[in-house]
């Protein structure tokens, strides 16, 4: 039975909702999760970053994931812009040596069950139909329990919207979701059996990414023996193909048939029916408001090239939970905690936005990608160690490490500010800016379309996250 009151209401039980619910419930904060579906349920987003490992441990779920038998992902491989390179997560000293390739139906159910086992009140097949506000502050929600066909209302002190792409707050109340003009892409994918994925010396379990003229291809090995194989092209390209009489399935099959590596991998393989998703890169102007926080896909989602989806979901949920717990326990006032959440989440998102932007410029080359990574992390790597900076970004470790040690986002904020300053100078015709810098800056500025509100303070009011003995906000020494 669903209580009519709770300290924190979480809408959605995916990785974001399960994470925030687990953290709060473990601290004795009354937390209720309303999930509209019944788990297990299908979801895309199967390749996880190494940053998930310490976060899973922080919420006490690490051993469960290890025992489940997901494919261990040691790193990745890129055949990108006529250059090839691979990386391993353990190239960064002290970093996790692997993450996982997961079937999201299984991974998400493990996390949701874990939240319930840790004291969260979890209710599935319950759809939130309305959020009520009092003087602009979210205070309660109406819902339909589709199992019992009963309706109810639950009041709360804080709401955490983890409702995914449906975005209860962003789409129905704030109405501030904006899609990125640069990333109007379409993903078409299927699952293959009988592949020859590791025909070369690439470490087993690695993600394989291949750029093609029309976009790029992913290969992700899963624990049931199948391989997730997806293609990403622009929406305009798919429209042209359809105007020419080609179906999405035909486009998908031809992209794979035209690529040499894909032909080798899939020579004797068979696939299931295709799936497709479009217009999946977006952001909200704000990730929080009076009485509520938005986490994961409910707030933003970025092109899947660097597998940032679950990373951003769990980072944002960890920060939201730390902020809410600190507020409710009287350690930090609401305004400071909300500012910390908003700023740190925005910076994590912008870090990946900048990296994905740079990747879509095929002419920059491997060295260019590494240099961009170097500029986005506070680690001071030598020139010959530039690759480590790249790994630090694509593993997600830079975000988790910096939010935990109080240095979070310092370099990102400076780089964002610099790019914005250069953009203003370019439009005014002032400043000495080289052609290469202009090109890079224009690409970044175009990628920022839809970001109407940017808060990226160099310091986050002296606050950071600690995970022991509880996940809370702490203050840096004066």
Q: Where are the alpha helices (DSSP H) in 270-361?
A: 309-328, 334-359
Nearest-angstrom CA–CA distance, 130 and 371: 47
pLDDT, residue 447, reads: 46
- What is the predicted pLDDT for the residue at 411? 60
Span 284-335, pLDDT tens digits: 989 999 999 999 999 999 888 888 899 999 989 999 999 999 999 999 999 9
Beta pairing, strands 150-161 & 5-11: parallel
Class of domain 185-278: alpha beta
Verdict on whether the full-model pTM lies above 0.75: yes
Tokens of 107: 């991974």
pLDDT digits (tens), the chain, 478 positions: 899 999 999 999 999 999 999 999 999 999 999 999 999 999 999 999 988 999 999 999 999 999 999 999 999 999 988 788 888 988 877 778 999 999 999 999 999 999 999 999 999 999 999 999 999 999 999 999 999 999 999 999 999 999 999 999 999 998 888 887 777 889 999 999 999 999 998 999 999 999 998 889 999 999 999 999 999 998 889 999 999 999 999 999 999 999 999 999 999 999 999 999 986 689 898 999 999 999 999 999 988 888 889 999 998 999 999 999 999 999 999 999 999 999 889 888 887 887 787 777 766 777 777 777 777 777 777 766 777 877 887 777 777 777 776 655 456 555 655 665 665 565 555 556 667 666 666 555 444 433 222 223 334 778 888 888 999 998 876 6
Backbone phi and psi for residue 427, each to the nearest 5 degrees, phi listed first: -70, -25
Q: How many helices (H) and strands (E) does the chain have?
A: 15, 23
Whole-number pLDDT of residue 419: 63
Terminal CA-CA length for the chain: 47
Contact 313, 16 (CB under 8 A): yes
What single string gives the DSSP state of each residue in 30-87? -EEEEESS-SS------BPPTTHHHHHHHTT-HHHHHHHTPEEE-EEEEEETTEEEEE
Q: Which residue in this structure is represented by tokens 């990108």?
A: 80
What are the CA-CA distances from residue 141 to residues 33, 149, 157, 177 (Å)?
Answer: 12, 17, 11, 21
Q: What does the pLDDT read at residue 395?
A: 78
Topology classification of domain 5-175+282-466 = FAD/NAD(P)-binding domain (3.50.50)
- For strand 150-161 and strand 137-145, is the pairing parallel, antiparallel, or unpaired? antiparallel
* DSSP-derived secondary structure letter, 95: S
Greatest alpha-carbon span in the chain: 67
Ranges of each domain in the chain:
5-175+282-466, 185-278
User: Would you list the DSSP string of 158-224?
Assistant: EEEE--GGG-HHIIIII--EEE-STT-EEEEEEEEES--TT-SSPPTT-EEEEEETTEEEEEEE-TT
Amino acid 226: pLDDT: 98
Q: Is the dihedral of CA 44, 49, 51, 53 positive or negative?
A: positive
Closest by CA position to 410, among listed 341, 365, 347: 347
At residue 440, the pLDDT reads: 62
Instruction: Determine the pLDDT at residue 98.
Output: 95
Domain 5-175+282-466 identical in fold to domain 185-278: no
């Amino acid at each position: 039975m669903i209580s009519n009151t709770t300290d924190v209401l979480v809408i959605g039980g995916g990785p974001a909702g399960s994470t925030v619910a687990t953290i709060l419930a473990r601290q004795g904060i009354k937390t209720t999760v309303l999930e509209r579906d019944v788990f297990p349920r299908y979801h895309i987003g199967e390749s996880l970053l190494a940053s998930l490992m310490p976060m899973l441990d922080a919420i006490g779920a690490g051993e469960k994931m290890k025992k489940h038998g997901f494919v261990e992902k040691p790193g990745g491989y890129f055949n990108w812009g006529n250059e090839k390179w691979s990386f391993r997560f353990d190239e960064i000293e002290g970093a996790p040596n692997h993450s996982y390739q997961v079937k999201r139906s299984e991974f998400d159910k493990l996390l949701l069950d874990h939240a319930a086992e840790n004291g969260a009140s979890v209710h599935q097949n319950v759809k939130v139909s309305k959020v009520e506000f009092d003087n602009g502050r979210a205070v309660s929600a109406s819902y339909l329990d589709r199992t019992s066909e009963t309706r109810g209302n639950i009041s709360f002190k804080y709401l955490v919207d983890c409702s995914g792409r449906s975005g209860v707050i962003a789409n129905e109340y704030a109405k501030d979701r904006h899609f990125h003009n640069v990333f109007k892409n379409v993903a078409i994918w299927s699952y293959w059996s009988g592949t020859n994925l590791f025909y070369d010396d690439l470490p087993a379990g690695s993600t394989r990414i291949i750029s093609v003229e029309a976009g790029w291809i992913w290969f992700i090995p899963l624990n049931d023996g199948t391989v997730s194989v997806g293609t990403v092209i622009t929406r305009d390209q798919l429209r042209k193909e359809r105007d020419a009489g080609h179906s999405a399935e035909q486009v998908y099959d031809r992209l794979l048939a035209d690529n040499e590596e894909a032909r080798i991998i899939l020579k004797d393989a068979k696939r299931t029916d295709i799936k497709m998703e479009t217009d999946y890169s977006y952001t909200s102007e704000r990730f929080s408001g009076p009485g509520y926080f938005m986490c994961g896909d409910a707030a933003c989602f970025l092109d899947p090239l660097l597998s940032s989806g679950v990373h951003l979901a769990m980072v944002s949920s960890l920060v939201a939970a730390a902020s809410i717990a600190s507020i409710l326990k009287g350690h930090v006032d609401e305004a400071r905690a909300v500012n910390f959440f908003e700023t740190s989440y925005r910076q994590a998102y912008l870090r990946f936005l900048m990296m994905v932007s740079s990747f879509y410029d095929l002419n920059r080359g491997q060295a260019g990608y590494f240099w961009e990574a170097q500029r986005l992390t506070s680690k001071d790597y030598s020139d010959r160690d530039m690759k480590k900076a790249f790994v630090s970004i694509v593993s997600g470790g830079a975000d988790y490490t910096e939010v935990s040690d109080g240095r979070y986002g310092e370099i990102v904020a400076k780089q964002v500010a610099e790019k914005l300053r250069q953009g203003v100078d370019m439009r005014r015709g002032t400043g000495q800016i080289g052609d290469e810098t202009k090109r890079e800056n224009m690409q970044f500025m175009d990628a920022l379309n839809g970001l109407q509100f940017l808060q990226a303070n160099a310091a986050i009011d002296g606050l950071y996250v600690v995970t022991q003995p509880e996940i809370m906000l702490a203050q840096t020494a004066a």
